[in-house]
Structure 1
């Protein structure tokens, strides 16, 4: 019985070569099958970056619910895409003044809407919450 206990098994080291090969093959597989798509983006400037204020710019107010209001018309009117194209000049800069409670997603959607209809010179301005009401 002592002879059975005396025989020790040699401890074998685990080879990591096969594991490294499998990980490399999986890495290559996922790199080759994934799609590298470019996310959509749009360009806009803040008032400070453009060098000028809203002096010669057309002004639109952006409400928290995403409606665009023409501040030059009294009382401010909600603008559809057709009215925006009819009233705004695409060659002049457009200053978008968001309401104080407008979130970032609402601003992004409004700028995308303006770009889609051809008003691409959009400047993001700042408005006081009392000025919107």
Structure 2
């Protein structure tokens, strides 16, 4: 006759302790990132239409940035818009997007434009 093996019961206490320690470890070592916001306005609420000056035209593509026919870098955009900006009467800046432009590239541009007072950007949809 064979002896019946007795099923041993596992203790759940040590398993719960290990899970708690892992949870505590990952909570303390993880980093929490803060997401910033980019403020957008609807095209109908723009105040730039009352200006007598013609709007500026900016074409954004994945590798280039073109302001009124001049090629620029994103870093030099604020300096190029400085003489055009007027805080008393904001000037419209029409931003045309190439089809391949990513959301991150557009966000980078809008962050730069947010730092330029007196310029009101209006983003057109993607297209050629």
Q: Compute the TM-score of the two structures, normalised by the length of structure 1.
A: 0.65
Instruction: Give the Cα separation in 1 of the matches to 2:92 and 2:79.
Output: 16
CA root-mean-square deviation:
3.1
Gaps of 5+ in 1: 71-75
What stretches of structure 1 move > 4 A for 4+ residues in a row? 127-130
Tell me how far apart the structure 2 counterparts of residues 62 and 84 of structure 1 sit (CA, whole Å).
14
Mark the CA change 1:53 to 1:97 in structure 2 (over 3 Å): closer, same or farther.
farther
- 1:101 and 1:87 map into 2 onto residues whose CA distance is 27
Higher fraction of strand: 2
| Bigger Cα Rg | 1
How many residues are aligned here?
A: 118
Deviations along 1:68-107, one digit per CA (max 9) or x if unpaired, are 413xxxxx33454322111122452644422342512321
Q: How does 1:58-73 map to 2 (within 5 A)?
A: 58-64=55-61, 65-70=63-68
SS of the equivalent of 2:112 reads helix
The TM-score, its normalising length taken from structure 2, stands at: 0.67
Equivalence for 1:26: 22
Tell me what 2:106 maps to: 107
Shift of 1:11: 0.8
